[in-house]
């Protein structure tokens, strides 16, 4: 609400921003509710439905003469947005915190509320009366892709800096650049700062933290309007971009991630595969998933089959014939690892020979680790169930990051807690404190009370606790097909990998 003069007799006029809610679905259907009046949309797909709804609301904003707030439900959740007359889509100010990041969806449980008074005030100029708002607009022909009512403003997104404003308002230091203050050189009676290379680099136009949306209905709007309407990415996509940047960060050398839980069925192998897949896809390869079971593990069975069945034991036995450690080449490993081409990582399986009496000990692990660390930037190691095995202990000793995995079950959680207690009791307190806990849902529905209790317990011991959802594509126990996973599952494992990368 806002009180304003009508411009004639000075009588205050109360105007109300429209209460607009919209929904778009994967099948291309949707609806717009404007002050309770519902208009339905039926298009070919979600992208076209999003474009139609955006254009309809932009036209409404044009009649009002200012951006209008709208709550939009899409397959990712419910978002509070504001849509400008030119079709530009922004997050509603109420959802943006002090550092410019979005807090997330307006409501994750599916309920939608009225636009808050603070949001209405943000879109209403208190110094002038707002025109009345039509409840509906002319109907849109079904199945017809929409086009923006007006082209984007030529200067939107660029503002003039007030006199005396600091340059860091635009993300560029006022002086000195990344390397500190500019050099000062004496020139006669005074000292004049002369620019340095750091100043030159700092003066470059900064790369935008986020470009236009690339996924969901927002991306569909951009494609259908040939970029004339280019919504910013939503909170889910922005979170995904931040996580991707964390995973892609520059490392100061090869890093070893060790996945533990001394109980079978705790999803260690699944976690190893999905961590390696995410690292591989985000970093462009140079990632190894390694089954460090002292006898036989299942990592090789969960990977895509190669044209050979050689394992870590075969590589260990072949090391002397491959020459001194410093002369082993990446191509020499090709006959021992199993490439996962779609996910851009390799798998080194444990011994799969049922008649074999071979086992891997600490010395064997160290010899393999020294060679493999020369060729892979990230090694994700699956461990066995015997914490007393020397190769298990050697892996923990080599770990840059420990990931403890448990399903949301009493037995696997107790095993994980016992493992952390044992590590703390044997001098690995710091490794436990820096560890990451992953709680995997064993069923579509989990025990919420147990999940809360586990988050509290492991949250007090480790650096982070992250939940990952149940996914039917993982139930069969066969080779893991990353592309068959739900998007929510892939996003959850991207989040896990980003948190792990933060600790490397």
Alpha helices in 330-463 (DSSP H): 362-372, 390-398, 410-425, 429-433, 448-461
Q: What pLDDT is attached to residue 80?
A: 84
Q: In DSSP terms, which residues pair with 259 in a beta bridge?
A: 382, 403
Name the strand (E) or helix (H) holding 493.
helix 487-502
Range with lowest mean pLDDT among 319-323, 369-373, 498-502: 319-323
More confident residue, 490 or 193: 490
Q: What pLDDT is attached to residue 419?
A: 96
More confident residue, 152 or 247: 247
Closest listed residue to residue 258, CA positions, set 271, 247, 244: 271
The two three-digit tokens of residue 480, written as one number: 């893991």
Range with lowest mean pLDDT among 73-82, 203-212, 280-289, 436-445: 203-212
* Rounded-to-integer distance, Cα 392 and Cα 294, Å: 8
3-state secondary structure of 464: strand
Q: What pLDDT is attached to residue 15?
A: 52
Q: Is the separation of the CB atoms in 201 and 178 below 8 Å?
A: yes
3-state secondary structure of 488: helix
Range with lowest mean pLDDT among 58-67, 239-248, 329-338, 449-458: 58-67
* Rounded-to-integer distance, Cα 142 and Cα 44, Å: 9
pLDDT digits (tens, 9 = 90+) for 206-240: 444 557 666 666 666 666 666 666 676 667 777 88
- Total-model pTM: 0.61
The half-sphere exposure of 113 on its side-chain side, counting CA atoms within 13 A, is 9
Q: Quick one: CA dihedral 401, 250, 167, 209, positive or negative?
A: negative
pLDDT-based confidence at 456, cuts 50/70/90? very high
User: What mean pLDDT value characterizes the chain?
Assistant: 76
* Rounded-to-integer distance, Cα 197 and Cα 176, Å: 10
Q: In DSSP terms, which residues pair with 401 in a beta bridge?
A: 257
């Amino acid at each position: 609400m806002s009180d304003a003069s009508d411009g004639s007799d000075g009588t205050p006029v109360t105007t109300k921003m429209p209460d607009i809610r919209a929904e778009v679905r994967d099948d291309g259907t949707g609806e717009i509710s404007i002050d309770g009046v519902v208009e339905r949309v039926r298009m070919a797909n979600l992208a076209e439905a999003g474009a139609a709804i955006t254009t309809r609301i932009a036209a409404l904003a044009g009649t009002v003469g200012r951006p209008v707030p709208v709550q939009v439900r899409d397959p990712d959740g419910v978002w509070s947005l504001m849509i400008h007359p030119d079709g530009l889509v922004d997050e509603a100010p109420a959802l943006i915190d002090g550092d410019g990041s979005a807090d997330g969806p307006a409501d994750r449980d599916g309920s939608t509320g009225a636009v808050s008074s603070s949001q209405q005030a943000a879109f209403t100029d208190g110094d002038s009366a707002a025109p009345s708002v039509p409840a509906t607009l002319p109907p849109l022909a079904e199945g017809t892709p929409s086009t923006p009512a007006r082209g984007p403003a030529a200067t939107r997104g660029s503002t003039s800096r007030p006199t005396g404003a600091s340059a860091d308002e635009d993300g560029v230091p006022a002086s000195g650049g990344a390397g500190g203050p500019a050099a000062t050189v004496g020139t006669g009676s005074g000292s004049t700062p002369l620019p340095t290379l750091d100043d030159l680099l700092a003066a470059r136009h900064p790369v935008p933290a986020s470009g236009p949306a690339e996924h969901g209905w927002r991306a569909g709007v951009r494609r259908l309007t040939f970029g004339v309407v280019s919504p910013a990415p939503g909170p889910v996509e922005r979170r995904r971009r931040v996580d991707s940047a964390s995973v892609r960060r520059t490392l100061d050398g090869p890093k070893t991630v060790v996945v533990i839980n001394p109980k079978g069925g705790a999803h260690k192998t699944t976690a190893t595969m999905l961590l390696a897949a995410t690292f591989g896809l985000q970093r462009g390869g140079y990632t190894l998933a390694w089954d460090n079971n002292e006898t036989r593990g299942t990592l090789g069975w969960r990977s895509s089959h190669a044209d050979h069945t050689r394992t870590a034991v075969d590589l260990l036995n072949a090391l002397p014939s491959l020459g001194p450690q410093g002369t082993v080449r990446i191509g020499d490993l090709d006959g021992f690892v199993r490439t996962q081409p779609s996910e851009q990582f390799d798998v080194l399986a444990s011994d799969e020979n049922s008649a074999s009496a071979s086992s891997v000990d600490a010395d064997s692990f160290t010899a393999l680790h020294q060679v493999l660390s020369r060729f892979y930037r990230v090694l994700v190691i699956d461990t066995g169930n015997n914490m007393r095995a020397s190769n298990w202990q050697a892996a923990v000793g080599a770990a840059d990051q420990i990931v403890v995995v448990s399903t949301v079950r009493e037995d696997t959680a107790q095993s994980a807690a016992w493992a952390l207690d044992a590590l703390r009791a044997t001098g690995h307190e710091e490794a436990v404190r820096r560890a990451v806990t992953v709680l995997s849902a064993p069923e579509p529905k989990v025990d919420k009370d147990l999940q809360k209790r586990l988050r509290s317990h492991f949250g007090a011991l480790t650096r982070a606790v992250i939940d990952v959802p149940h996914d039917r594509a993982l139930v069969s126990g066969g080779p893991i097909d990353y592309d068959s996973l739900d998007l929510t599952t892939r996003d959850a494992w991207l989040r896990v990998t980003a948190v792990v990368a933060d600790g490397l």
